[in-house]
């Protein structure tokens, strides 16, 4: 069970990140539509991990991507992979200050659900707000509390022992298949996300939870907000 990322678990994460998971593919398609045209955009990818989301933004024709990550093991893997049009920075890198209100779009993918405290979520969004030009779009792909518990051939997501339904409670998640990967996420509701985004200076425009082939909501949610 992964709670922190070492070099070895970061490598395993990268292997699972390249697997096509229908539930994730569906919500990413929603996120893509939320962004609209990215061809002229400098896009901040906050919590880029091993760079999968940054590379995805490049595939979505972002003009330039800033991948920002706090975990050095994750960042080292991202930097080792071919990354045209992408620049990577550690969260502590002073050079990020040069981009204050310069980014014209922002993305977080599977980041918010890894954060166990409201204070941590507020800090992330305050940082994103500082780097975003007012009026810019921010899209987040995160967990969908309404869909718990969830089980499919590809993923399993359910409440951990001691779960009470409070913000930050632990959730057990598993990616199934050849590169099986288990990790702990955290429970946040749509209202939690809305309150935190508004406190950081964003206006929430839309929250969308796609449904699977059985008509059930998948355990992922796409949020579109605008920096005020």
Q: What is the pLDDT of residues 14-39, one digit of tens each?
A: 666 667 889 999 999 999 999 999 99
Is position 14 within any domain?
A: yes
In angstroms, the Cα distances linking 74 to 5, 32, 87, 138, 196 are: 8, 24, 14, 23, 26
Q: What is the pLDDT of residue 1?
A: 44
Number of structural domains (the chain) is 1
Is position 45 within any domain?
A: yes
Is position 155 within any domain?
A: no
Q: Residue written as tokens 């409440």?
A: 159
Q: Are 168 and 187 in contact (CB under 8 A)?
A: yes
Given a cut of 70, is residue 162 above it in pLDDT?
yes
Q: What is the pLDDT of residue 179?
A: 73
Which CATH number characterizes residue 47's domain? Answer: 3.40.50.150
| Dihedral sign, Cα of residue 210, residue 212, residue 216, residue 218 | negative
H-helix segments, the chain: 7-17, 22-35, 52-59, 72-80, 118-131, 190-199
Domain that holds residue 33: 7-145+188-227
Is position 61 within any domain?
A: yes
Whole-angstrom Cα Rg for the chain: 16
Is position 175 within any domain?
A: no
> Which residue spans within 47-180 are E strands per DSSP?
64-69, 86-90, 103-109, 132-143, 150-151, 155-159, 170-175
Is position 204 within any domain?
A: yes
Global pTM value: 0.94
Average pLDDT, integer, range 29-52: 96
Is position 222 within any domain?
A: yes
Is position 158 within any domain?
A: no
Q: What is the pLDDT of residues 90-103, one digit of tens each?
A: 999 999 999 999 99
User: Which residues, 6+ apart, have CB-to-CB distance to 208 below 8 Å?
Assistant: 27, 30, 34, 221, 222, 223, 224
Q: What is the pLDDT of residue 10?
A: 57
User: Which residues, 6+ apart, have CB-to-CB distance to 13 below 8 Å?
Assistant: 2, 5, 49, 50, 74, 181
Give the confidence band of 156 by pLDDT, cuts at 50, 70, 90.
very high
- The helix (H) or strand (E) run that includes residue 207 is strand 202-208
């Amino acid at each position: 069970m992964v709670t922190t990322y070492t070099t070895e678990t970061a490598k395993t994460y990268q292997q699972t990140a390249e697997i096509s998971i229908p539930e994730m593919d569906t919500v990413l398609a929603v996120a893509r539509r939320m962004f609209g045209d990215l061809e002229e955009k400098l896009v901040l990818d906050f919590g880029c991990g091993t760079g999968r989301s940054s590379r995805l933004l490049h595939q979505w024709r972002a003009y330039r991507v800033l991948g920002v990550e706090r975990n050095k093991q994750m960042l080292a893997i991202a930097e080792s992979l071919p990354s045209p049009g992408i620049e990577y920075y550690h969260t502590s890198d002073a050079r990020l200050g040069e981009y204050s209100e310069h980014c014209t779009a922002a993305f977080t993918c599977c980041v918010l659900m890894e954060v166990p405290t409201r204070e941590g979520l507020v800090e992330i969004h305050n940082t994103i707000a500082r780097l975003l030009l007012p009026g810019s779009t921010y899209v987040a792909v995160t967990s969908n509390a309404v869909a718990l518990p969830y089980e499919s051939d590809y993923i399993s997501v359910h409440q951990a022992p001691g779960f009470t339904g409070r913000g930050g409670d632990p959730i057990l998640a598993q990616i199934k298949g050849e590169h099986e990967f288990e990790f702990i996420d955290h429970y946040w509701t749509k209202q939690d996300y809305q309150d935190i985004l508004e406190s950081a200076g964003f206006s929430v425009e839309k929250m969308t939870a796609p449904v699977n082939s059985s008509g059930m909501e998948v355990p992922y949610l796409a949020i579109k907000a605008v920096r005020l």
